[in-house]
A = this chain, B = another copy of it.
Amino acid sequence: MSENDFIIEQIFDNENFTEKQKKIIEAAIELFSEKGYASTSTSEIAKKAGVAEGTIFRHYKTKKELLMSIVMPLITKLVGPIVVNDFNKVLDRPYDHIEDFLRATIENRRAVLKKLLPVIKIVLQEIPFQVELKEHIIEQFAEKIFGLFVNKIKFYQEKGQLIDMPPNSIARLMLTNILGYLFSRYILFPNFEWDDELETERTLQTILHGLSPKE
């Protein structure tokens, strides 16, 4: 099973696609991610997928619908399955110390990012141009994930492991550091040589130093 098959399985878990439809999605993900949505033609997708151009439009009314069919469920899946099954495990497991919680969070997000990299790239590219996508993300992410995150923060604040700053701001700063690191690592400069363990640890320690109460 190819890497792309895996992505498709992750994003469209239970749906049963025909073989051709899978090929189309695979090809679309690869091309959108490499050349961008607007610069990828449906004929290229058809060619790469090994299907007739008409076949694409039997399954998706428009090119945009194809994009959305790939990109919208990803969001749900980033908050849903992987999140419910993985991320929530992280959030719910009673890590006694915030350091362990953060480390688990980083590793979890890193795993997701690595697995779904091409589709995530597409999402990032299209956010500015697809209003529905942006709204869907804000809805799903901001309201669900951010909320859970904020709760965790309150939890550790009560335990005296985090400074007394509005949880929203703490959340923003933590996410900035975690996502900023992962973004630099996997999207901006994937080709640099990174000492992952070390850099993760440094990010982690900076967050902890920065947001722990003075002892």
Residues of A at the B interface (CB closer than 8 Å) are 35-36, 38-39, 121, 125, 128-129, 163, 165, 169, 172-173, 176-177, 179-181, 184, 199, 202-203, 205-212, 214-215
Contacts and interface: CB of A to CB of B under 8 A. Distances in A.
Contact of A36 (B128, B206, B214): B128
Contacts of A177: 173, 176-177, 180
Nearest to A199: B169
B173 A202 contact: yes
A121 B212 CA distance: 35
A190 to B, nearest CB: 11
A135 B39 CA distance: 21
Chain A contact residues, majority secondary structure: helix
Contacts of A203: 173
20 contacts: A35-B129, A36-B38, A36-B129, A38-B38, A38-B39, A163-B209, A165-B202, A169-B199, A169-B202, A172-B181, A172-B199, A173-B177, A173-B206, A176-B177, A176-B181, A177-B180, A205-B210, A208-B210, A209-B210, A210-B211
Contacts of A35: 129
A202 B209 CA distance: 14
Contact of A210 (B165, B180, B181, B210): B210
B129 A39 contact: yes
Contact of A125 (B128, B176, B206): B128
A34 to B, nearest CB: 9
A193 to B, nearest CB: 12
